[in-house]
Amino acid sequence: MAENITVERDQQGQPNKGKVFAAVHAHLDDVPYYAGGLCAKLIREGYTGYLIRTSNDEKRGGGTAAENILSNEQEHVKVAAALGFADTFDFYYQNHEMNNISSLDLRARLILLFRMLKVDTVVTFNPWGQLEENPDHWVTGRAVEEACWMAGVETDYPEHMEAGHAPKTVTERYYFYARPGQPYNRVVEIGAHVEKKIDSIVECRAQGGGNEGSLLRARLAKQGKRLPLLGNDDRTADRAYVRQFLLDRYQEFGAEHGLSYAERFFYIDHRPPAKSKVEEYVERNAVSL
């Protein structure tokens, strides 16, 4: 892998102004961990971002299924705000059981959103990511991959056109590096965006360890102790805990390339060239009749 890595640096200004991306994850804490830095970077560089969550997260949160659905839903809105997303969508498929849903249903819902939002770029799971144990992840990734090209085909769901949503091919993809051993060809510099990544992770309290710092601070206080690292309030404790204990892998990904923090992705560029082969050939070779 190592010889084909591109390092995507932070860019000045807003080179992506006018472009739209959708980050599609299954669970509250997927995007914050796998791609929080990238999403903050893309938005800073001019992209409009939308955050789509496919599962209902009912299995995580420490409460009943209904309580977990609610806490994850509320925290999802906070995660999106922390990273600068324009809006969130939640599909509420049953958590951990997405390999038994209709992939066509999921795909069709994504196609409608990609057309409606005019999505240029997606950030999601590697659809073929080996070593992936969570069915919600690969089911989501595969449906996104199919929807990316099919959203541009006018004969798929032609009623969308009658509803005013033109075909729209999604041409760029960033697939998460979610498990060790999954492929990646792009390392994204996120040093300038790590505070936002931390802001998004501390909102993941139902799952994702966002409140571990304040919990540890309270536990120590009961024993008559404190850690200077955790400061004097819960928010400071949560942020400090994330920075100290939960970002090691992103520091390691960066260190290999001389960066403070980085995230890894498998990036695919399907943007058409400015001029097609045929156009170029005609330009060079056409003669008068």
Give the residue closest to Zn ion by C-beta.
27
Output b/e per residue, 124-140; b: 16+ Cβ within 10 A.
Answer: bbbbebeebebbbbbbb
What CA–CA distance (Å, rounded) separates 165 from 109? 13
Scanning residues 12 to 41, which ones bind Zn ion (CB under 5 A)?
26-27, 30
Residues that bind Zn ion (rule: CB under 5 A) add up to a total of: 3
CA end-to-end span of the chain, whole Å?
A: 52
Which is nearer to Zn ion, 25 or 160 (by Cβ)?
25
Ranges of beta strands (E only) in the chain are 6-8, 20-25, 48-55, 87-93, 121-124, 172-176, 186-189, 262-269
Q: Nearest approach, Cβ of 54 to Zn ion (angstroms)?
A: 10
Q: Nearest approach, Cβ of 139 to Zn ion (angstroms)?
A: 11
What binding mask, one character per residue, do residues 68-87 give for Zn ion by CB under 5 A, x or -?
A: --------------------
Q: Nearest approach, Cβ of 73 to Zn ion (angstroms)?
A: 15
In the 8-state DSSP scheme, what is residue 88?
E
What binding mask, one character per residue, do residues 193-232 give for Zn ion by CB under 5 A, x or -?
A: ----------------------------------------
Q: Nearest approach, Cβ of 185 to Zn ion (angstroms)?
A: 22
Q: What is the number of other CB atoms lying within 10 angstroms of the CB of residue 10?
A: 15
- Give the binding site for Zn ion (CB under 5 A): 26-27, 30
